[in-house]
A = this chain, B = another copy of it.
């Protein structure tokens, strides 16, 4: 069936609801979606003009020379992600100017595309390397992947136009060049695979699925050179169906795993799906940060070994968060299991939301859980190196993250609810209006009202129903021990980490209320995570909290605080409208100069001072008050310290 959203599998446990069925209305995510439309998208256009990436394509479309092309080899992909974001946003809001932006760019792309469907500003013209001469690093297929995702978004949210035509010509070109009769080759950066499956889903053309499957199956057979970071950097060390855990470059690995799910679902390849499920399980168990962030190493932007999760060294690229949401969402649709939706929520609140500055004009590329030294503020008018820490930067030399955030936020309604034959499920707990037709043919409508994540009550009111029974479910996150479900005047315990549900002949005006215990809580890491031994973190609902040096009492050193866990964390009384702070009790060791040698025969003495409260803020809201040192994991005061 037609569905207006980024992922529409033809099989699986759950059907995702589209942007035409779900509208985010108020609250945490609706606010960000508004900001995305009003601030982030114009910001991206401004910076891409400045960086010359938009002009690259205009020049190619006008038959201009290669000389003067600006930006990295994958700069075209930023145009495509920008178009995808606009396509979703136009579909969501109906804004004609937003739609017109896509229309105009479709014409430019059509002019730039070669007669055989090839389209890339970085290869093939006089003075440039020939097409497909650097598949490992050239990103040509990667760029097509983002083009196709933009085309699919346009097709679903609007219908056929220039962008869609360009997309299909490019996809046909790829099938001809890289199909069974073409080159046996793959791209250094997976992305084309999910895109081709989605184009198959949107058009019904089997050849796109066949090509995607070929690309997935070719991986891990040694088609790429090993490169400085090893074959795992390219997700090319072993075939995807043999891998036991995600490794190497995090975004590459997550995009490939998403594609493997897509191929498995569309071809009925349960063994392949199982392989990815096992990889995901192991990755979540041993290689994922509390925030949902993935990627422990700066070198190679890579997953580390099991339990190698340093908070300060963490890479946790924003794009890896986007990719992880895509993978978990696909696994949720395939299996229906709540754990996947839990990770989507965790990653959205702590990686995606935190990638964006409060004013919408800055972005984090990396999202470490500890900032040792207050970083410098980035130059307001300069491209930042991609791994800049400190404050969020307006744009990067490698600026994959801003447009990736933009397209995710614009399509977020598509990650909010799912359906099966028997009913409807709320996956993302946020203010929304939902209208759909169940597979049974029954029309249903409802309204979700909540201040979540600040408050734990989620109220669902039925707005449309014909009186026949159907099942309404709502996700109860894994941390929500003690949650309750109230429906029809009765309150029941709801099981954390599953779906609370009520099946009945709903009538307009009926209500279902879920109460989640969002009070702040301690979270202890597994002792095998060496880098955070002896520490504790604070979570509140789906939000991870952090302590910043900004706002600490004078003379208190963030690195010489120990938390007293005997005193529970509690909500701070603040006047800030949106960000609920949390107070914990901490003992401050008087700030001291380093010893001559930081290793000693005697155990260091702990402080004996009385505890005082210190105030934590949500991790996503960090670095909005100026440069600051910051920690998520806080050393715990021990009685015998």
Q: Is A372 a contact partner of B598 (Cβ separation < 8 A)? A: no
A442 within 8 A of B: no
Q: Is B372 a contact partner of A601 (Cβ separation < 8 A)? A: no
| Identical chains bound together, number | 2
Q: Pick from B284, B306, B532: contact of A596, CB below 8 A.
A: B284
A97 to chain B, nearest CB (A): 39
Residues of A346-395 whose CB lies within 8 A of B:
370, 372-373, 385, 387
Interchain CA distance A385-B560 in the complex, whole Å: 39
Interchain CA distance A601-B496 in the complex, whole Å: 13
Q: Pick from B479, B531, B595, B601: contact of A521, CB below 8 A.
A: B601
Q: Is A604 a contact partner of B310 (Cβ separation < 8 A)? A: no
* Residues on B with beta carbons closer than 8 Å to the beta carbon of A533: 533-535, 635
Residue of B nearest to A372 (CB): B305
A96 to chain B, nearest CB (A): 43
Please classify the interface of chain A as helix (H, G, I), strand (E, B), loop, or mixed, using the class held by over half of its residues: loop
Type the 1/0 row for A593-610, where 1 means its CB is closer than 8 Å to any CB of B: 011111111111000000
Interchain CA distance A11-B596 in the complex, whole Å: 27
Q: Is B528 a contact partner of A598 (Cβ separation < 8 A)? A: yes
A512 within 8 A of B: no
A101 within 8 A of B: no
Q: Is B531 a contact partner of A339 (Cβ separation < 8 A)? A: no
Q: Is B285 a contact partner of A594 (Cβ separation < 8 A)? A: yes
Residues of A473-521 whose CB lies within 8 A of B:
478-479, 481, 521
Given A298-B297, A530-B370, A640-B639: A523 touches B307 (CB 8 Å cut-off): no
Interchain CA distance A635-B534 in the complex, whole Å: 10
* Residues on B with beta carbons closer than 8 Å to the beta carbon of A597: 284-285, 478
Interchain CA distance A230-B290 in the complex, whole Å: 30
A286 within 8 A of B: yes
Given A285-B596, A305-B372: A601 touches B523 (CB 8 Å cut-off): yes
A312 within 8 A of B: yes
Given contacts A524-B604, A530-B535, 13 further A-B contacts (CB under 8 A): A228-B385, A281-B596, A284-B597, A285-B595, A305-B372, A339-B596, A521-B601, A522-B601, A523-B600, A527-B604, A528-B594, A530-B532, A530-B635
Which chain A residues have a beta carbon within 8 Å of chain B's beta carbons? 228, 230, 281-282, 284-286, 288, 290, 297-299, 305-308, 310-313, 339, 370, 372-373, 385, 387, 478-479, 481, 521-535, 537, 559-560, 589, 594-604, 635, 638-640
